[in-house]
Amino acid sequence: MRIEDLETPAVLIDLDIVNANIARAQALFDGLGMAFRPHVKTHKLPELAALQRAAGARGIAAQKISEAEVFAAAGFTDILLCTTLLSPAKIARARRLAAQGRFALVADSVEAVSALSARGTAPLTVLVECDTGGGRCGVQGPEAAASLAERIAEAPGLRFGGLMTYPRAGGTARVQSFMAAASALVRAALGDCPVISSGGTPDLARAGAAPIVSEFRAGTYVYNDRSLVERGACGLGDCALTVLASVLSTPTPDRAILDSGSKTLTSDLMGLSGHGLILEAPGARIAGLSEEHGHVILDGALLRVGQKVRIVPNHACPVSNLVDQVVFHRAGLVERRVTVAARGTIV
């Protein structure tokens, strides 16, 4: 069966492109002598994480404890959870994962360290999350990082695991300077800073510019998407995830309506204009989305009712999370459907 024969909308994964993306990234980090830890939030598929591991990845990163649990159940035994946990129930789940293999999570506040700390248990490994410019979570400077590292090292039931950051795109130089200062302070206080973890697909190719980093995390690189093409981080031919959609209507000469809207493509604009690139009509613009419709301004492109098209979405990661299954194919030939094991793991 060819992908054009599938019912629409469908989320397609080109396995040849996936394998090339995995091999290229792993070769880069092998060359740098830097550990590579793929983030599974993008694909949420143990099967693809197994390909990443087979290529040489050092463990995986997950964003939710429930996501980590799905991969632990699938046999992954080296997991970095890139969030802190505050609720006793979730912390108990983390301790269960820690009992099964290498497991670490992060904290960026005294409150989080207090919540994670517990007497009379096997130690839980905690990295200090650092805000190196990303403007999300994280301590605000190297001194604060070292101070929290000491707090973790002293806390009952915790082990200091290192420093972690999710930097802003283009922020590699700041990662280097922040982490150099923070790790020096940590080493002066504690003698060791076991891991310095940074990440982000937008700056994956520039990872070598922050050699202080010991481990790099990236998720989207496995699929890529329109936002990464627009940033120059990859080419259109490197985009493994596409949404197959049908043209439902061409109500005016300049408008076509697709059967794929925000419930498949998501509303993520990622700073771009338009909601994805139509491979068969790159000059057309997906100007708007309703829930189950894509609104296309044709700008001279030709689409006919019933035609199937493939869309490179702005952001691949949330698309995976919307569907129960994706379709693996090679060069347009369907291989099989795969259940998105960790879809909806938000708690």
Among 31, 291, 333, 336, binds a copy of itself (CB under 8 A): 291
Asked whether position 198 contacts a copy of itself by CB under 8 A, the answer is no
DSSP state of 140: S
Q: Binding segment for a copy of itself among 16-24, 30-38, 128-136, 232-240 (CB under 8 A)?
A: 128-136
Site stretch for a copy of itself (CB under 8 A), options 18-26, 84-92, 175-183, 234-242: 84-92
Number of residues in contact with a copy of itself under rule CB under 8 A:
59
Under DSSP, the state recorded for 155 is S
Give the CA diameter of the chain.
71
What is the enclosing helix (H) or strand (E) of 312? strand 308-312
259 is a site residue for a copy of itself (CB under 8 A):
yes
108 vs 203 by CB, closer to a copy of itself? 108
Is 170 among the residues that bind a copy of itself (CB under 8 A)? no
Check residue 271 and give left, alpha or beta (phi > 0: left; psi -120 to 50: alpha): left
Among 257, 303, 309, 327, binds a copy of itself (CB under 8 A): 257
Enter the tokens of residue 103: 């497991």
The answer to whether the CB of 332 falls within 8 A of the CB of 279 is: no
Locus of tokens 């650092």: 130
Measuring CA to CA, how many Å separate 66 from each of 11, 48, 272, 284? 23, 18, 31, 39
Does residue 255 belong to the site contacting a copy of itself (CB under 8 A)? yes
CB 79 within 8 A of CB 60: yes
Rule CB under 8 A: choose which of 322, 334, 338, 339 binds a copy of itself.
322
Question: In the complex with a copy of itself, which residue's Cβ is closer, 34 or 261?
Answer: 261
Q: Residue 96 — φ and ψ, nearest 5°?
A: -65, -40
Q: Which residues bind a copy of itself (CB under 8 A)?
A: 7-10, 41, 63-64, 83-84, 86-87, 89-90, 108-109, 111-112, 115, 131, 135-140, 246, 248-252, 255, 257, 259-260, 262-264, 266-269, 290-293, 295, 304-306, 317-318, 321-324, 344, 346-347
